[in-house]
Amino acid sequence: MKLAARVGQVTPSITLAIAAKAKAMKLEGIDVCSFSAGEPDFDTPAHIKAAAEKALADGKTKYGPAAGEPGLRQAIANKLQKENGLCYSAENVIVTNGGKHSLFNLMMALIDAGDEVIIPAPYWLSYPEMVKLVGGTPVIVATDTQAGCKITPDQLRQALTPRTKLLILNSPSNPTGMVYTPDEVRALAAVVVESGIWVVSDEIYEKLLYDGAQHLSIGAVSAAVFDRTIISNGFAKAYSMTGWRIGYLAGPVDLIKAASTVQGHSTSNVCTFAQYGAIAALESSQDCVEEMRRAFADRRQVMLDGINSIPGVSCPKPDGAFYLFPNIAKTGMKSLEFCDALLESQQVAVIPGVAFGADDHIRLSYATDMPTIEKGVERLAKFVHQFV
Ligand SMILES: *Cc1c(COP(=O)(O)O)cnc(C)c1O
């Protein structure tokens, strides 16, 4: 079959493939320790489920406006004003089928064939693929481990060309867990303003911060950068709502209208009664978020100590999200070979760094229970010991 050329340039998601393989091995009764999934292991908090159940019982079962339920758009605008210092109203917000979909809508609405999109590496694996799917050109900028895997203002300036349209920022980061400090965000904002490009800030992990790290939304730095900023966020990570598929994009009204048009001809509205769960998530107590964050903080420490006690493996301490991104170069293996061998011989599932543009690394998620973390790290140590 002759498929469309755009599909030929795109690689399937390695994360989803490995997570699926680990799940299949578990079903066969194999004792797998999986650090592959990028999703919290907690159930969705009960009050959020109850709100969706009530909406379902109340007959919120029909088509709604493509851009989202008005009540949810307003609740999101309130949240962005109150928590992030971003002056948005409901018309600046579109509700999407997850954070991934909000970014895809953005690419559809903003990127033309040949437009360049700057993506600091290591990056979330879907960014370059989304850019390619809409005909844009991903421009990957390698960052320094010494600089915390963060793009510097100079690196950003050097990557600019007359075709540069957009910069993708992701802090806290998947896969590294690093967080840009407020000063670093301000310095990048200055380059965005002086160059007149757009910036999309993927803030899906903004609530998962440790050791006093602070999240500054780039759009809050100044009125000038606010005008060039688009925010992508969602409910999956903070509220353990991965399967609900609810995210959002916020930005200038023209862009949000264009994204709504795209959505109106593709998915239409997000599941109507699910959106009522999202309203409850924003408008009820945030204690559930803090409880999960604390559990992640404990697991992070245990996994980090375990990993850094393995000779030949090193990992800086990340300030956010729920991932570690250790360097495995001393084993002499590239990441894919390392991950295949680890899964085969020790039944530990991790994601090869090559998927994120960093072949000397692997990504481990600590969004899993403590016994699995302890057992899995022990197996990882046994595995690495054969090569170092
Ligand atoms: C999980 C994730 C998203 C969004 O996921 P959805 O499930 O589509 O909401 C976006 N960006 C990054 C970096 C992520 O890890």
**Ligand 1 closest atom vs CA 242:** 7
Helix (H, G, I), strand (E, B) or coil at 117: strand
* Distance separating alpha carbons of residues 30 and 159, to the nearest angstrom: 47
CB-based contacts of 213: which residues, under 8 Å, 6+ apart?
A: 172, 179, 319, 320
3-class DSSP state of 212: coil
For ligand 1, residues with CB inside 6 Å are 38, 98-100, 124, 170, 174, 202, 204, 234, 236-237, 242, 247
- Asked if 315 and 308 count as a contact pair (C-beta separation under 8 A), the reply is yes
- Pocket test residue of 13, 14, 100, 363 for ligand 1, highest count of atoms within 8 A of CB: 100
Query: For strand 137-142 and strand 198-202, is the pairing parallel, antiparallel, or unpaired?
Result: unpaired
Q: Could you tell me which residues are beta bridge partners of residue 364? A: 324
Residues 6+ apart with CB under 8 A from 28: none
| Cα–ligand 1 centroid distance for 202 (angstroms) | 8
Structure tokens at 276: 């009522």
Six token digits for residue 179: 């967080």
> From its phi and psi, is residue 188 left (phi > 0), alpha (psi between -120 and 50) or beta?
alpha
Torsion angle in degrees (nearest 10) through CA of 56, 67, 72, 60: -10
Task: Give the residue, by CA position, lying nearest to ligand 1 atom 3.
Answer: 99
pLDDT truncated to tens, each residue of the chain (388 aa)?
A: 999 998 888 887 787 788 788 889 999 999 999 999 889 999 999 999 999 999 999 999 999 999 999 999 999 999 999 999 999 999 999 999 999 999 999 999 999 999 999 999 999 999 999 999 999 999 999 999 989 999 999 999 999 999 999 999 999 999 999 999 999 999 999 999 999 999 999 999 999 999 999 999 999 999 999 999 999 999 999 999 999 999 999 999 999 999 999 999 999 999 999 999 999 999 999 999 999 999 999 999 999 999 999 999 999 999 999 999 999 999 999 999 999 999 999 999 999 999 999 999 999 999 999 999 999 999 999 999 999 8
172: cis peptide before it, omega within 30°? yes
- Integer Cα distance of 19 and 38 in angstroms: 9
Rounded to 10 deg, the angle between the 335-346 and 14-27 helix axes is 10
Instruction: Look up tokens 């197996």; give the residue.
Output: 379
Residue entry with tokens 């867990």: 177
State the chain's maximal CA–CA distance in angstroms: 61
121 phi and psi, to 5 degrees?
Answer: -105, 145
CA–centroid distance for 205 within its chain = 7
Domains and CATH numbers, the chain: 5-30+287-384 (3.90.1150.10), 48-283 (3.40.640.10)
The pTM score is: 0.97
Of 14, 127, 202, 206, the one to substitute when testing ligand 1's pocket (max ligand atoms within 8 A of C-beta) is: 202
Q: Which of 204, 240, 366 to mutate to test the pocket of ligand 1 (most atoms within 8 A of CB)?
A: 204
Calculate how far, in angstroms, residue 123's C-alpha sits from the geometric centre of ligand 1.
Answer: 12
Both structure tokens of 238: 């903070």
